[in-house]
C-alpha cells in the first residue's frame, strides 16, 4: 500500500511537471497526455524498485540466513508482493479477519494453490510482520533469495524428516518470542491440480511448540493470476475460516489439529 501511494504521487507530480514546464500545455491533447503518463510513471517507479531489489540482493545482502529478522526486509517483501499482485491485475478480498487475534502474534496455515499464495497472504495481512517456512530452492531464487534470508524465513528440507523436525522446532521457538507471525503450508508442496490435499500433521507442531493461536486460512483463485494476465482482473480470496486457541488444541493431537484445519478449508472452498 505504501509503495502504491508513493508511485501514484510521483506519477502525478511528474505528469504535471512535464505539463507545466514544457509547451505541452499548449496542445489540445493535454488531458490525454496526463492520463497516459500516470500509469506509465507508475510502471517506471516499480521498475526502479525492481532494480533496487536486484542490486541489494546481489551486491549488499549475503546469502546466509539471518538469525534475527530484518524489519526492513520483511516490510519490503510485503510491499513488493502487494504491488506485483496489483500490477498483474489481481484484487485481494479478505474475510473473517475477526478470527485473527487482536493482540500478539500467531501461527498461520493455509492451502497451497500456486506460487502467488504467499503474495496474497502477505497482502491481506499487511499489518502483521510475517515470516514463512519455505523450501530451500526459494533462497536461491533470482532477485528475492537473499531478501527472504535477510527476513529470516525458515528453509525446510522436505526430503529429510529429521532436519524438517528441527526446522519446525526452531520456527516454533522463534514464534514463541511473540514478535512475528510464522506461516506454513501444511500440504508441504504446491497443489498441481488446484485441489486440497492431505495436511502433514508435523506442521502443526509449529503452533503447539510456540503456544500461540493457530489461524487457518483458505485461499482461492491464486493460481488464476498468471492465467488471467493481460486478459481480465482476478479476484483472489483470502478467507480466515477458523482459529484454534492454545487452551483448545492442548487437548488435541497433531492429527486432530491437521484434520480440523483441513476440514475447515475444505468446507469453505467446497471440496
Residue 271 pLDDT level (bands cut at 50, 70, 90):
low
Helix (H, G, I), strand (E, B) or coil at 133: strand
In the sheet where 130-134 sits, what is the strand order? 90-95, 234-244, 214-220, 107-110, 181-184, 130-134, 154-155
Q: pTM for the full model?
A: 0.90
Q: What is the pLDDT of residue 15?
A: 75
- CA dihedral of 118, 170, 248, 253, whole degrees rounded to 10: 100
Domain boundaries 66-269, CATH class: alpha beta
Q: In terms of Cα–Cα distance, which of 130, 121, 151, 123 is closest to 139?
A: 151
Instruction: Note the pLDDT tens digit of each residue in 83-114.
Output: 999 999 999 999 999 999 999 999 999 999 99
Lookup result for grid cell 524498485? 49
Rounded Cα gap, residues 197 and 131, in angstroms: 23
- Strands (E) across the chain are located at 90-95, 107-110, 130-134, 154-155, 181-184, 214-220, 234-244
Q: What is the pLDDT of residue 8?
A: 87
Rounded Cα gap, residues 38 and 8, in angstroms: 7
Other CB atoms within a 10 A radius of the CB of residue 250 amount to 10
Region 13-34: mean pLDDT is 67
- In the chain, how long is the greatest CA-to-CA distance? 75
> What does 64-123 look like in DSSP terms, one character per residue?
SPPSS--HHHHHHHHHHHHHHHHHTTEEEEEE-GGGS-SSS--EEEE---STTHHHHHHH
Tell me the C-alpha to C-alpha distance, in Å, between residue 40 and each of 27, 43, 244: 20, 5, 46
Instruction: Note the pLDDT tens digit of each residue in 111-167.
Output: 999 999 999 999 999 999 999 999 999 999 888 999 999 999 999 987 788 899 999
Q: In terms of Cα–Cα distance, which of 242, 269, 260 is closest to 100?
A: 242
Residue 27 pLDDT level (bands cut at 50, 70, 90):
low
Rounded Cα gap, residues 201 and 168, in angstroms: 11
Q: What is the pLDDT of residue 91?
A: 96
Q: What is the pLDDT of residue 14?
A: 80
Q: What is the pLDDT of residue 22?
A: 65
**Share of the chain residues as helix, strand and coil, in percent rounded to the nearest 5:** 55, 15, 30
Q: What is the pLDDT of residue 12?
A: 83
List phi, psi (to 5°) of 80. -65, -40
Percent of all residues in the chain with a pLDDT value above 90, rounded to a whole number: 75
25 pLDDT above the threshold of 70 = no
Rounded Cα gap, residues 184 and 132, in angstroms: 6
Tell me the C-alpha to C-alpha distance, in Å, between residue 175 and each of 129, 151, 208: 11, 14, 11
Q: Residue ranges of the domains in the chain?
A: 2-55, 66-269
Mean pLDDT of the chain: 92
Asked if 131 and 182 count as a contact pair (C-beta separation under 8 A), the reply is: yes
Helix (H, G, I), strand (E, B) or coil at 126: coil
233 pLDDT above the threshold of 90 = yes
Instruction: Note the pLDDT tens digit of each residue in 170-188.
Output: 999 999 999 999 999 999 9
Amino acid at each position: 500500500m505504501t509503495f502504491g501511494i508513493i508511485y501514484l504521487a510521483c506519477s502525478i507530480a511528474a505528469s504535471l511537471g512535464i505539463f507545466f514546464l514544457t509547451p505541452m500545455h499548449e496542445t489540445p491533447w493535454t488531458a490525454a497526455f496526463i492520463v497516459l503518463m500516470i500509469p506509465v510513471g507508475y510502471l517506471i517507479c516499480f521498475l526502479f524498485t525492481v532494480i533496487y531489489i536486484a542490486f541489494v540482493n546481489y551486491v549488499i545482502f549475503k546469502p546466509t540466513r539471518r538469525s534475527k529478522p530484518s524489519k526492513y526486509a520483511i516490510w519490503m517483501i510485503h510491499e513488493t508482493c502487494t504491488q506485483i499482485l496489483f500490477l498483474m491485475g489481481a484484487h485481494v478480498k479478505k474475510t473473517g479477519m475477526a478470527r485473527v487475534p487482536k493482540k500478539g502474534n500467531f501461527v498461520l496455515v493455509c492451502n497451497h494453490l500456486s506460487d502467488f499464495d504467499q503474495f496474497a497472504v502477505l497482502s491481506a495481512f499487511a499489518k502483521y510482520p510475517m515470516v514463512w517456512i519455505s523450501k530451500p530452492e526459494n533462497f536461491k531464487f533470482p532477485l528475492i533469495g537473499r531478501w527472504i534470508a535477510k527476513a529470516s524465513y525458515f528453509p525446510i528440507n522436505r526430503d529429510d524428516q529429521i532436519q524438517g523436525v528441527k526446522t519446525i522446532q526452531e520456527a516454533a521457538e522463534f514464534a514463541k518470542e511473540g514478535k512475528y507471525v510464522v506461516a506454513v503450508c501444511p500440504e508441504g508442496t504446491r497443489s498441481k491440480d488446484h485441489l486440497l490435499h492431505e495436511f502433514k500433521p508435523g506442521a502443526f507442531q509449529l503452533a503447539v511448540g510456540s503456544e500461540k493461536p493457530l489461524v487457518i486460512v483458505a485461499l482461492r483463485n491464486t493460481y488464476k493470476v498468471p492465467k488471467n494476465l493481460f486478459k481480465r482482473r482476478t479476484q483472489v480470496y483470502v478467507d480466515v475460516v477458523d482459529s484454534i486457541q492454545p487452551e483448545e488444541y492442548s487437548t488435541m493431537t497433531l492429527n486432530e489439529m491437521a484434520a480440523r484445519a483441513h476440514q475447515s478449508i475444505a468446507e469453505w472452498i467446497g471440496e
